A = this chain, B = another copy of it.
Amino acid sequence: MSWTVGELARLAGVTVRTLHHYDRIGLLQPSERTSAGYRSYDVHDLDRLQQVLFYRELGFPLDEVATLLDDPDADPAVHLRRQHRLLRDRLDRTQAMVAAVEKEMEARQMGISLTPEERFEVFGDWLPEEYAAEAEEKWGDTDAWAQSQRRTAAMSKEDWLRVKAESDDVERRFAAALAAGVPADSTAAMDLAEEHRQQISRHFYDCSPEVHTGLGRMYVEDERFTAYYERIAPGLAQYVSTAVQTNAARQG
């Protein structure tokens, strides 16, 4: 059994142009061409298209989709598990948005209004979806990653909220220290950094001082992390980074 572009397009609910595009960029090349140059897709191509559409729907850029699908040691089961996780993340996120809307409706009915921070909270909940893929790219082959995957996979939504509350707390105390003018290389700041390290070890993976140093560097080098901390308070990314790295040096 094989399909022409038009047939596959109808089947999958995309346009012919999209399939042309995927061909051109090498994301999905038909396994055959007829003598007249017509594209001919077989069942494996169809399989791949399904995966592509899945990751695309979840917001992955096409080049990342390509690297995910071309990873030689990612069998179908790996993809299915990952997709399952990503979807659950999305469910959680959507539920959070529902909750936010309901909160606003209630507030409105009671005639009160929310603070600016409260109103944008739901948009700031970065951490899951977007980052998951990149993180795996970088550290997918490390023990830490596997360990983190196992632990977080077993976590319920309530577990997540507890973990998030705990880390929010440390972040707030970091921000307070920064605002109070406490130097980033002071003992107080380093103690916060140490607390941060132990949190990671408890909830995600063994975070040695060396690993923590790497994380600290990333907070100022990877703009995603930088943006995350800067949204809490300007200068916080650099502050936490310094505290973490000084603390690691103290331990070592």
- A→B interface (CB under 8 Å): 10-13, 43, 46-47, 50, 53-54, 57, 76-77, 80, 83-84, 87-88, 90-91, 94-95, 97-98, 101-102, 104-105, 108, 116-117, 119-120, 123-124, 126, 227, 230-231, 234
Interface pair B104/A98, CB less than 8 Å apart: no
Separation of A190 and B111 alpha carbons in the complex (Å): 54
Name the one of B10, B91, B126, B230 contacting A10, with C-beta atoms under 8 angstroms. Answer: B230
When all copies of this chain in the complex are counted, the total is 2
Interface pair A234/B10, CB less than 8 Å apart: yes
Within 8 Å CB of A53, what residues of B? 120, 123
Interface SS of chain A: helix
Name the one of B12, B13, B47, B119 contacting A126, with C-beta atoms under 8 angstroms. Answer: B13
Interface pair B104/A80, CB less than 8 Å apart: yes
Within 8 Å CB of A126, what residues of B? 13
Name the one of B84, B91, B116 contacting A11, with C-beta atoms under 8 angstroms. Answer: B116
Separation of A119 and B47 alpha carbons in the complex (Å): 8
Within 8 Å CB of A120, what residues of B? 11-13, 50, 53
